[in-house]
Structure 1
């Protein structure tokens, strides 16, 4: 298998390059800095509340926990990415480089998979309430484990296509600067089809269909004056899942298909290659925003989550006021 210089694949070497490495690195640095603090705080708080204070493991809570873990894993790798894009140096070794590179795509596709699971479960429980009564939380655990295995294996081609093999184990490059392997046409087409169908179009169709079913159920119940709070909550949750999916992942997957065609020299037009190359880091940054947007699902759409935050926030405020009054008394 041949290694190729991505700078000459992404755009033809004879094409003018209007985007410098410094500009791309600055974009990644700023976006990851903006994402890191709120992503870390929101997802840590969400995981703490979901795991410790919500005993009722229904209403997609197990899937939300796994979605939070997927976001936290990616967020915790961001400081190393920020270091690399600022210093342009990777002193942490090849294994950690490939792990951080892999975690980016693991987070993306695990997030997509669990958004699909949340949408399906809320739709199924709304339309089949008797099924919800007999559903066990261990079923969600088994489904989540299967998702991690399938997604983990499915993301392996992303690191197989990138390697430091031709630059030595002491190379200081990582992430976007890793050389990309040149695939044969059949392998390239297979990877594009699998990524787009299984990782994007399939989930998009499923989430859209769940949204349609819930909206249709909501309209019918309104006509019969049988609409309930659960129907409205399910509709809001699936709509937010759809919104997060469309905003974060549609730009990347539209561009990914074209970008892979450019890297494999299928698209050779200079203007098209330049536009695709310039939008690629932007689409990756947009996809990373899901780490900050996913907690909206937990807070705004899960009653138990808001109740627990409100309850423990009141306890914390009471303790602070008690400490202040004690301090004032002593003075």
Structure 2
């Protein structure tokens, strides 16, 4: 019942926050910069994650699942894919800021909306492709074990013995890789801002470092626990609490990320690359 309360609170808080964030980003920024594209996709991933939670609230509140294996696997796939998507798009935003600060001139041809949409499209396609074998494998295991529960088949011995290692560790490896990328990006930007920032780039240092500090906090607080409990066999009983923590991230993205940035409310994005070399303001 405690999980039902937690997931219910996430739905109540996260649904309006992410819907409002998505609307503001689309209406005010209108896809005019790479940052806006990544933020819109992040807000969309968080919104889809929230929309997958009402069935979890129902399951944990009643203790029963009567919608069948296909519905369980489909909702589980939507849930896990959008946790991964959130982590990926948070990383993309950090990498975009890294290119803008550390390689402002050499990255101009890369930092455009076309390439940003291509990268986002590749992410969504890859996540769907990854979810297909996972969904097929888990549905077969649930049918073979005659499970009548949902969302935590890893608890059952007959499932533990049959889950391929590639499926058990893919989430952990991907999250740890993204965390490493964020740590490297933060170090490079911090080093650049301290002593090697080019005069051709004007930077609001506080906002730039706020982005990277927020990204690292997101990973260490919300995403890293899930990676650890999935990697260590004796911690598998802590999967549900770790997933609850990962879901809470979708409520903090609008509060700690979007609304902490001045550019969130500005209609014009100043960091959009253009053809004429001139100082670039990184917000």
Q: What is the TM-score of this pair, normalised by structure 2? A: 0.82
Question: 1:252-289 deviations in whole A, cap 9, x for unaligned?
Answer: 1111111xx3xxxxxxxxxxx4xx24422211111111
> Distance between the aligned counterparts of 2:134 and 2:253, measured in 1?
24
Taking the aligned partners of 1:94 and 1:192, their CA distance within structure 2 comes to 20
Change (3 A) 1:228 1:236: farther
In structure 2, the residue matched to 1:243 is 217
What is the aligned counterpart of 1:79 among 36, 50, 54?
54
Map of 2:281 onto structure 1: none
Is there any run of 5+ residues in structure 1 with no aligned partner, and where?
1-25, 262-272, 309-331
The alignment status of 1:195 with 2:175, answered yes or no, reads no
Q: 1:177 offset after TM fit, Å?
A: 5.1
For 1:9, the equivalent position in structure 2 comes to none
Alpha-carbon spacing, 1:254–1:127, altered in 2? closer, same or farther (3 Å): same
Q: CA deviation at 1:81?
A: 1.1
What is the match of residue 297 of structure 1?
257
Contact 1:32 / 1:78 at 8 angstroms: preserved in 2?
Answer: yes
Report the equivalent of 2:159.
Answer: 181
Are the aligned partners of 1:59 and 1:122 in contact in 2 as well (CA < 8 Å)? Answer: no
**Counterpart residue number, 1:151:** 127
Matched, 1:119 2:94: yes
For 1:165, the equivalent position in structure 2 comes to: 143
The answer to whether the 8 A contact 1:125-1:131 is kept is no
Following superposition, the deviation at residue 230 of structure 1 comes to 3.5
Question: 1:221–1:59: structure 2 CA closer, same or farther, 3 Å change rule?
Answer: farther
Cα deviation, residue 54, structure 1: 1.1
Structure 2 Cα separation of the partners of residues 216 and 289 of structure 1: 31
Change (3 A) 1:227 1:51: closer
Q: CA deviation at 1:205?
A: 1.1
Partner residue of 2:19 out of 44, 56, 70: 44
Aligned to 2:78: 103
Q: Higher mean Cα deviation, 157-166 or 212-221? A: 157-166
Say what the alpha-carbon RMSD is for the aligned residues: 2.7
Matched-pair contact (CA < 8 Å) for 1:28–1:85: yes
**1:307 deviation in Å?**
4.0
1:142 aligns with 2:118: yes
d(CA) in 2 for partners of 1:147, 1:28: 29
Alignment match, 1:234? 208
Taking the aligned partners of 1:173 and 1:154, their CA distance within structure 2 comes to: 23
> Do the aligned partners of residues 221 and 167 (structure 1) sit closer, same or farther apart at CA in structure 2, a change above 3 Å counting?
closer
Give the whole-Å Cα distance in 2 for the aligned partners of 1:244 and 1:41: 20
Q: Which runs of 5+ in 2 are unaligned?
A: 268-283
Distance 2:31 2:175 in 1: 31
Pick closer, same or farther for the CA change 1:123–1:42 going to 2, 3 Å. Answer: same
TM-score, normalised to structure 1's length? 0.71
Question: Displacement of 1:131 after TM fit?
Answer: 4.3
Change (3 A) 1:307 1:60: closer
Partner of 1:32: 7
CA displacement at 1:195 relative to structure 2: 3.4
- Residue in structure 1 matched with residue 242 of structure 2 by the alignment: 283
Give the SS at the match of 2:260: helix
